[in-house]
Structure formats: structure tokens, C-alpha cells
Amino acid sequence: MSMLSQLRSLPTKRKRIQFFGTILATALLIISCGTNVSTVVPSPAADPGEMQSSPSGAVAVSPSASPSSMVRIPAGTYTIGSDAAEDTQPVHQVAIAAFQIDRYEVTNAQYAEFLNSLEIQPLQNAAAGEIRSSDLPESVAPLFIEGAEGNQQNPLIALDDEHTRIAIQNGQFVAESGYADHPIAETTWRGAKEFCQWRGSRLPTEVEWEAAARGLQGRTYPWGDEPPTRDRAVYGRNSGATEAIGTHTAGATPEGVHDLAGNLAEWTSTLYRPYPYNPDDGREQPDAVGERVTRGGDHVFDSSPNELTTYFRTGFSREPDRGHRHIGFRCAQSLT
């Protein structure tokens, strides 16, 4: 059993308290509402999570915070690739089953909630970007500390990197003040995959990502065929100069998926291999070794118009066992 699986299987007192607290809260809600029970769907503005400010100014995620809403992408035959670059050739058609994908990129607040679900007890407070092995129990430090280049620990996230926006405050992982609803950076490919599994979902394949960004119409950019503008995407910035999710509504797809161009590039499940795309040739093997495809360009490295397209797949610096300041992710789910 992996270290992460062992952490999740611990029958802690906190989990039992949360479980009975949930039952009590549900019972009180039913009593107060009588038989008129309805489902509440959070608005997009609430998707980043309900947040509370701690005395230190860090932002703690409410236990009731929900993951981003998802958008349904219809089944169909989608155009994949482009003649614009060698690694996007040949242009080909791929039949894709219906699926849904996160409306927004996963945020710092949401990822902090995931880390807290592991029931790890940090040893002391630490600022974002300054967490070290000495701040964590020795047995779990490899899950969060990347270390020097060439370190093969393959953590979930590089909490020791200066571009990480997650701190430790009062025994909890919290988003740095002002960055709770910014997309999470510095997760490894494993860290993105594990988060999506915790959510009951998965990483999208690269062709699913392209289908969501491109649509059945074959758009050049998520919003259409017009070139990028500052009100459509976050690009051409300094390192770390991301923006809150969903703030560039002009850059959303017609279906309502935001930030598919710029802000952060996004991990997909797919190994970087030549086209045409074939899901049965090993590129979707989760345990295979090799670079994984990132999509969408980013705010600092892949920021030119041709790198913000729906089909760009080269991506800068996407070694899967390390965190990256310019790479985040969103999750997907199959629809049966």
C-alpha cells in the first residue's frame, strides 16, 4: 500500500467527528425545512470555495467548499491537430464519447482542502514558498518537498518552491492570502492525478482537452478565431502573475469553460507522443515513463498567439515528477 493510501485509510477521530457532525447538520436541515427539500446548485462565483480569513491573513478553506462545476462536452467526431507545427500534424478526426470537464482550473484553496484531507499534522507554521522538510513529519515530507533538480521523490506538489501559494497555519494547509481563487501551480503530474481521483474524477486526455477548447466547430482559440487580447486571456506576464479563475469571461468557450488559454498550462493524462492520436498505443498508460502533454499555453513562457491555440501541445518544461510554476490542471469525468 502506498504512503498516500495509508494516510487515507487511517480511521482518525477527526473523520468520525466530521461524519457525525454531517449527520446532525443534515437532520437539523430536514427538520427546519420540512418536506420542501431542494438541491442548491452553487453559482460560478461560489465555485472557488467558501473561504474564511485566519488571524494571520492566510485563507482557510471551509470544509463545505465544493469543487468547480463541470461542463458537459457532447459526443462527436472532433478535428484534432493542425498544419501549423510538426508535432500537431497530421490533422485527423477522433471520435470522442461525451464527458464533462471542470469549468475552471483547480485553485489553491481547493488543493489545500485536498492536502488537509490526508490528515497530516504539520509540525509548525510556515509561509507559502518556504515550507521545508523540518516543518512536516519525516515520514510524509517526500509528498510535499521537491528538493534540488534531479531529486526523484516525485511529490504531490513542490511546497518548498517559491512559486507555491500554499502555507501552513495552525496545523492546516491554507492558501496564501490573496491567492485562494488563483489556479494551483507547482503540482506534479502525480499530484494533479491524485487530486482528481480524490474528487471522483480524472485528468482529461489531451484530445478531450482539445475537444473542450476547440468544439465541434474546430475553433482556433477557445473563444473563436480572433487573436488573443488582454480581456480574453492571462498571458505575457512575469512568473507568478496569475489571476483569479473565471475573471476573463470574454475568453471562455461558448459552452462556458474558462481559462483554457493562458493563466496556467494544464496537465493532461496523455504521454507526449506523435500524432495521430491512438489511445491504445500506450500513451494513456498511467504508469508509463515519459513527459505528459500540457495544453493551453500559460502566463509567462508559452504566451505567443500560436502557443495559446486550442491545438498547441509542445509546452515548456513538463517533466511529470516535478512541479512547475506555469502548469496547473483541471479534472474531467466520463459520462456513461
Burial, 218: exposed, middle or buried (Cβ in 10 Å; 0-12, 13-18, 19+)? middle
This prediction has a pTM of 0.81
pLDDT at 40: 24
- The answer to whether 127 and 160 are in contact (CB under 8 A) is no
Rounded-to-integer distance, Cα 315 and Cα 251, Å: 20
Interval 288-324: pLDDT, tens: 999 999 999 989 898 899 999 999 999 888 889 988 9
Give the model's pLDDT for residue 302.
Answer: 82
| Parallel, antiparallel or unpaired: strands 172-175 and 292-295 | unpaired
Taking 70 as the pLDDT cut, the residues of the chain under it are 1-68, 148-152
pLDDT at 54: 31
Instruction: Kindly list the distances between the CA atom of residue 252 and the CA atoms of 140, 249, 298, in Å, as whole numbers in the listed order.
Output: 39, 5, 15
pLDDT score for 147 = 77
Q: What's the pLDDT at 179?
A: 96
